[in-house]
C-alpha cells in the first residue's frame, strides 16, 4: 500500500510555525525534545538554503530526512513476493533535482532504508559526492510484507477505500510500535555521526513518526511528507533535538518538476 496517513488536527498551525517548509524560505525551530537546556542553533542564514552554505556548530549534527520520490505501482498478489517498487520516471527526475539542490551542502554521510525507492532517491546525490549509501533497516516503512504498492494519490483518484483508511490512520494497527522502531533507528544514526550532516532517504511514515515524537504529537501519522521533501532536525550531543524545517520542496520548484504524475 501507499504508506502514509493524512494531516491531523492542528497541523496547519504547525506548518505555519515551520518557517521553511514547502517553499524553502526562512529557517525556524518548530519544536523539539531534550533536557540539555542549551539554546537552539540556527544552522542556516536568513536566506534559507537556496545558494547559501549552512553555518555549523561542532556539537550539533544536522539530519536531513528525505521522503523517497514517486514510485511505480506494483502488484505481486499473484506471486506472493513483497512489493518493493523502484522510482517512476518522474521519481527519478525528482531524485536528480534533489541531488542538484543538495550537492553544494556539506554532507558527510548518506543513509537509506532497505526499500528500493528510498535508496534510488539518494543514490544520485551519493554518486556526486562520492560516498556510499548506508542501509539502516529500522527506517523502513510500515508496509513491510505488503504484496501491493499503489501511490497514495492514485488511491485517492480512484476512490479506493484504502485511501480513506489511510486518512483515518486505520492502516497502521500498532503506531506506537512502528514509531519506537523509527526513533531507535534514527537515534542510532545520530549517535554514529556527532557534529556531522547526514541525509536519510526514507518514507513518509518514517518522517511523520519521528517528527511526531519530537513535537510530542499523539497522532503518529500526523502529516504528509511530499515526494523528495526535506525535513531538517538539529541534534546535539547532549540529547537536544529541534525540528528546523518540514516539507522543503525548493528543488522541485526550481527545476519545474511536479509532485505527481496525475
In a domain, 249, yes or no: yes
| Contact between 169 and 5 (Cβ < 8 Å) | yes
Going by the DSSP 8-state scheme, the letter that residue 71 receives in this structure is: B
In a domain, 162, yes or no: no
Q: Report the pLDDT value the prediction gives residue 164, as an integer from 0 to 100.
A: 85
Ranges in the chain, pLDDT < 70: 1-31, 34-58
Phi then psi dihedrals of residue 56, to 5 deg: -120, 145
Q: Report the pLDDT value the prediction gives residue 30, as an integer from 0 to 100.
A: 57
In a domain, 2, yes or no: no
Q: Which residues contact 76 (CB under 8 A, 6 or more apart)?
A: 82, 83, 147, 148
Domain assignment of residue 22, given as a range: 11-141+172-255
Quick: pLDDT tens for 234-245: 999 999 999 999
Q: Report the pLDDT value the prediction gives residue 31, as an integer from 0 to 100.
A: 67
Alpha-carbon distance of 200 to 72, in angstroms, equals 21
Q: Which residues contact 130 (CB under 8 A, 6 or more apart)?
A: none
Q: Report the pLDDT value the prediction gives residue 134, as an integer from 0 to 100.
A: 98
In a domain, 261, yes or no: no
Quick: pLDDT tens for 112-137: 999 999 999 999 999 999 999 999 99
Q: Report the pLDDT value the prediction gives residue 48, as an integer from 0 to 100.
A: 38
In a domain, 250, yes or no: yes
In a domain, 214, yes or no: yes
Alpha-carbon distance of 206 to 224, in angstroms, equals 11
Q: Which residues contact 227 (CB under 8 A, 6 or more apart)?
A: 67, 68, 69, 70, 91, 94, 259, 260
Q: How many domains does the chain have?
A: 1
Q: Report the pLDDT value the prediction gives residue 165, as an integer from 0 to 100.
A: 85
Alpha-carbon distance of 103 to 242, in angstroms, equals 24
CATH code for the domain in which residue 118 is found? 3.40.50.1240
Closest CA to 96 of 119, 72, 125, 64: 125
In a domain, 260, yes or no: no
Amino acid at each position: 500500500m501507499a504508506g502514509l496517513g493524512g494531516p491531523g488536527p492542528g497541523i496547519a498551525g504547525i506548518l505555519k510555525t515551520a518557517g521553511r517548509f514547502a517553499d524553502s524560505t526562512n529557517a525556524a525551530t518548530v519544536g523539539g525534545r531534550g533536557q540539555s537546556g542549551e539554546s537552539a542553533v540556527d544552522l542556516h542564514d536568513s536566506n534559507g538554503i537556496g545558494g547559501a552554505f549552512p553555518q555549523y556548530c561542532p556539537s550539533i549534527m544536522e539530519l536531513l530526512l528525505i521522503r523517497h520520490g514517486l514510485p511505480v505501482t506494483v502488484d505481486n498478489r499473484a506471486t506472493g513476493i513483497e512489493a518493493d517498487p523502484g522510482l517512476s520516471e518522474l521519481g527519478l527526475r525528482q531524485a536528480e533535482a534533489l541531488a542538484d539542490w543538495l550537492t553544494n551542502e556539506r554532507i558527510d554521510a548518506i543513509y537509506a532504508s532497505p526499500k528500493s525507492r528510498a535508496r534510488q532517491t539518494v543514490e544520485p546525490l551519493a554518486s556526486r559526492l562520492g560516498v556510499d549509501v548506508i542501509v539502516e533497516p529500522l527506517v523502513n516503512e510500515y508496509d513491510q510484507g505488503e504484496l501491493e504498492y499503489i501511490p497514495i494519490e492514485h488511491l485517492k483518484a480512484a476512490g479506493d477505500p484504502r485511501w480513506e483508511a489511510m486518512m483515518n490512520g486505520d492502516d497502521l494497527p500498532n503506531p506506537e510500535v512502528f514509531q519506537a522502531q523509527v526513533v531507535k533507528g534514527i537515534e542510532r544514526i545520530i549517535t554514529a555521526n556527532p557534529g556531522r550532516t547526514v541525509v536519510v532517504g526514507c518514507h513518509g511514515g518514517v518522517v511523520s513518526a519521528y517528527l511526531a515524537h519530537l513535537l510530542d504529537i499523539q497522532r503518529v501519522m500526523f502529516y504528509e511528507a511530499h515526494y523528495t521533501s526535506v525535513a531538517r532536525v538539529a541534534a546535539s550531543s547532549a540529547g537536544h533535538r529541534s525540528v528546523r524545517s518540514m516539507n522543503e520542496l525548493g528543488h522541485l520548484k526550481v527545476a519545474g518538476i511536479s509532485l505527481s504524475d496525475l
